[in-house]
Amino acid sequence: MGQTPAARPEAIRHGFAEVNRVRLHYASAGARAGESKLIIFLHGFPEFWYAWREQLVEFGRDYYAVAPDMRGYNLSSKPAEVKQYEISRLVGDVQALVAHLGAKSCVLVGHDWGGVVAWASAIACPDLVEKLVIVNAPHPGIFQRELAQNPAQQQASQYMLLLRTPEAEALMSANNFELMQEGILGPGLRQGYFTEADRLAYLEAWSQPGALAAGLNYYRATKIGPPAGVSDEDSHRQFDSASLDVKPPTLVIWGERDPYLLTGNLDGLDRYVRNLRVERVPEGTHRVVHEKPALVNSLIHGFIAS
């Protein structure tokens, strides 16, 4: 989609990058790499670059802020094969995008699936990530444990099984994406942190040919999920590392009322992350980026500056 008044179009630019055999659309703000530090924001399912519109404007004041449509979403390429959405390929997109943008490393911020890819990028390519910011996205080792041992997380993750079924596209897109409108946008529209312009922007992105199937392929390509997670061997293979340790300094922001990813995903995280800061948001849900953008921005600013 194009620029919108809600996204303050005077501050946001749009471009495309031919990387890793796909064409990625991205939005950006601020001085380009070489003049400012690069900070990349990765969205989750079923969002797109627009999820970070307020962060682009905010961080574009001091950094080169970039938010891509991850492969499969909105205006980016949408490969048909499920294997094209394996973690290693998504990490490759991040590596190639950083190089395309003229940088050798970046501050990497990710939410939901974008957070999963951000964890994986920091694990596989620690020199690529100066600092890592995760918003409500589980570390693979911790999530594996929670799915194996925590019945509450097993139950909270049942939706993943539905999203892998062949019927998922039809179910999610029925009646003008009724389920997605209610589940993703409904609370925000009622509480005022989403507007009608936002709703239309999301509908336009979801309606791009092949976008919904591509987003669902993220779930289909991974072996992680209920009832018992994934084996250690498979987890290491997916994340392209003999270890799941995270070397870059890491900030984890967690909305504690997330119904999909429970707070058990924070327990023991320091065993994998050498330099860890955790900020819990008691009133935040899985959509804490939208609910409390000023708080999220402040936490990220403080962490980058530290």
CATH number, domain 5-305, options 3.40.50.1820, 3.40.50.880, 3.30.565.10, 3.30.360.10: 3.40.50.1820
- Residue 100 predicted with pLDDT over 70: yes
Reported residue count of the chain is 306
DSSP structure string for 19-69: ETTEEEEEEEESSPBTTB-EEEEE--TT--GGGGHHHHHHHTTTSEEEEE-
Q: Give yes or no for residue 232 having a pLDDT over 60.
A: no
Domain boundaries, the chain: 5-305
Q: For a pLDDT cut of 70, what percent of the chain falls above it?
A: 91
Residues recognised as catalytic: 112, 219, 286
99 vs 239 pLDDT, higher one: 99
Task: Point out the least confidently predicted range of 5-19, 145-159, 161-175.
Answer: 5-19
pLDDT band for position 239 (cuts 50, 70, 90): low
Which range among 24-38, 215-229, 264-278, 292-306 shows the weakest confidence by mean pLDDT? 215-229
pLDDT of residue 31: 86
On the question of a cis peptide bond just before residue 5, with omega within 30 degrees of 0, the verdict is no
Percent of the chain with pLDDT over 90: 87
Does residue 201 surpass a pLDDT of 50?
yes
Yes or no: say if 128 and 95 are a contact pair by the CB < 8 Å rule: yes
